Amino acid sequence: MIIRAATPADAFAMAQVLNRIIALGGTTAHETAKSVQQVLDDYITGPDVLSCVVALDEDQVIGWQSVGRWQDEAHIGTFVTPDIQARGAGAAMFALTCDTVQKAGVPYLIASIRADNEPGLRYYARMGFVDFASEPHFALSTGQIVGRIHRRFDVV
């Protein structure tokens, strides 16, 4: 597995990973597919992007992690191809992400995770994120209440 900084050329493959996760449902608050341009602008090259890394297996993007400034804080999102989750890609990406944001002077990261996303909650706990707030009534656009947990990781 290779972990490296994402480039604009990765946007198509990153959109495929994200859109597969969205289509399956249950582990992301994103509800509609993202275009390649949206992935590029929101997660790779946009003015609020602080870091974006990809995990590659045989030159194929199998996951990605992006940190962006939102509401004056650094928020992280992690997306790994569903059939290979919990096999180390997330942890490997997080090491490079931490190095990148630390060099940029980011003091902490925020992860906002659906309360019903057990794999996501386990992942961020394993990485050392700790709960600091929750939104028990957080709902999807359909009205389905899924709740949301906010976790923090101190980079320095």
* Overall residue count recorded for the chain in this entry: 156
Tokens matching residue 139: 């709902």
10 Å CB burial of residue 70 (0-12, 13-18, 19+) is exposed
**Alpha carbon distance 83, 78 (integer Å):** 15
Q: pLDDT in tens for each of the 156 residues of the chain?
A: 889 999 999 999 999 999 998 887 767 777 788 899 999 999 999 999 999 999 998 889 989 999 999 888 999 999 998 776 666 788 899 999 999 999 999 999 999 998 988 888 999 999 999 999 999 999 988 888 989 999 999 998
Model's pTM, two decimal places?
0.88
Nearest to 90 by CA among 50, 60, 112, 122: 122
**What are the structural domains, with CATH classification, of the chain?**
2-154 (3.40.630.30)
